[in-house]
Structure formats: structure tokens, C-alpha cells
């Protein structure tokens, strides 16, 4: 009687592709949040600037926040596709193409989003996007990291309401954006480690 081929190595390779894609996506989020944190620092350091300069910096901040989702998801989609082509694998980029398109759609909508979100409320939106991707891909790592960023975003709003106009509030987005960026980087490192372990398992299994 014929026997079915062992699907173990194929499943392992798919798991590797998924883990690598998670690492790429989290690193792109870390880079996007690091850029927003740097820009938040620029805004905070110019808190006492003359009104014309302050308005110009705010406009640039809104523009930067508007293109951040397109950069984050577009870069992740491109990097995952390039990696899959070079390794002749597939299955890791599920949902990233749609997310990249959504990021592009958000760019012209930024003026309408600026009022409810603010220049740095965009990273709360990035967190929601990561939650949606994590649920779609059934990845606890992704939706957990996204939920953490959403929680940080809400914490920012709460802290800003509490501290009022004490002068400290300008640096709150800087600190929490940096914390979120480091957290994403740590999660990406964990995903990459899991991918390497699965790769070693495949090599020993073959």
C-alpha cells in the first residue's frame, strides 16, 4: 500500500517562513515607532519655539505620521516577498499586501485623521493594525504586541490628561514611543530566534 509522504519538513519550512515574516513585520514597526519617537523629541525640544516655527513642525509631524503606516507595511511586504523569493519558500506574507494597500490609502486621508489621532496617535493605529494582522494570521505574538502598543497609546492619553500643561507632557510621547520601539525589537528578536531553531530542526530532519 502506498504511503503519504512525510509532511513534517514542509510544515517546518512554512513555520520558518511565518516566523521570519513576523520578525520582519515587528522590525518594521520598531523602525516606524523609532522615527516617530525621534520626531516627538524634535517637537518637545521646540516646545518654546515661535508660533510660526511650531506650526511648521506640527504640519511636518502630521505628514510624517501619515506616511508611517505605508512605510511600515510596505517595507515589511517587500522584505518578506524578497526573502521568500531568495529562499524559494512561501506562506509568510499572508495579509501584508492588504495592510500595505491600507497604509497607502491612509496617506491622503491623513488631514481627516489628524484631528482625532494627532501626529503621534498614529502609532496607536499601527497597534490596532498589528492586532488585526495577528488575529488574521492566528499569531499571538503579533496581536499581543499590537495590544501592548494600543495600551501604551491609551496610557499616553491618560498621562497627558493628568499632567496637563506642566511642560513634562511634551516628552511623554517620546518616552513611550521609544519603549514601544524597543519592545517591538525584542519581539522581533524572539521571532527570529524561533525561526533559526526551526531551521536547525529541518536540517536535522532531512
At 145-192, the pLDDT tens digits run 889 888 888 887 787 777 765 566 677 778 877 888 888 888 888 877
| More confident site: 206 or 4 | 206
Question: According to the model, what pLDDT value does residue 181 have?
Answer: 83
**Distance set, CA 164 to CA 14, 69, 150 (Å):** 50, 29, 21
Question: According to the model, what pLDDT value does residue 4 have?
Answer: 38
At 40-65, the pLDDT tens digits run 788 777 767 677 777 777 778 777 87
Domain boundaries, the chain: 11-90, 91-205
* CA nearest to 63, candidates 106, 98, 125: 106
Amino acid at each position: 500500500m502506498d504511503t503519504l509522504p512525510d509532511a513534517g519538513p514542509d510544515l517546518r519550512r512554512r513555520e520558518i517562513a511565518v516566523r521570519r515574516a513576523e520578525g520582519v513585520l515587528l522590525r518594521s514597526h520598531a523602525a516606524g515607532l523609532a522615527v516617530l519617537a525621534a520626531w516627538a523629541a524634535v517637537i518637545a525640544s521646540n516646545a518654546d519655539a515661535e508660533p510660526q516655527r511650531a506650526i511648521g513642525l506640527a504640519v511636518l509631524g502630521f505628514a510624517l505620521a501619515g506616511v508611517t503606516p505605508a512605510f511600515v507595511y510596505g517595507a515589511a511586504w517587500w522584505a518578506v516577498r524578497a526573502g521568500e523569493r531568495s529562499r524559494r519558500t512561501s506562506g509568510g506574507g499572508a495579509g501584508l499586501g492588504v495592510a500595505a494597500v491600507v497604509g497607502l490609502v491612509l496617506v491622503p486621508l491623513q488631514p481627516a485623521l489628524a484631528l482625532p489621532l494627532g501626529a503621534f496617535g498614529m502609532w496607536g493605529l499601527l497597534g490596532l493594525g498589528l492586532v488585526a494582522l495577528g488575529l488574521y494570521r492566528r499569531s499571538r505574538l503579533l496581536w499581543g504586541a499590537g495590544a501592548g502598543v494600543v495600551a501604551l497609546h491609551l496610557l499616553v492619553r491618560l498621562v497627558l490628561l493628568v499632567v496637563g500643561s506642566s511642560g513634562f507632557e511634551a516628552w511623554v510621547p517620546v518616552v513611550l514611543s521609544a519603549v514601544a520601539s524597543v519592545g517591538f525589537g525584542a519581539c522581533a528578536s524572539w521571532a527570529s530566534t524561533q525561526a533559526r531553531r526551526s531551521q536547525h530542526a529541518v536540517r536535522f530532519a532531512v
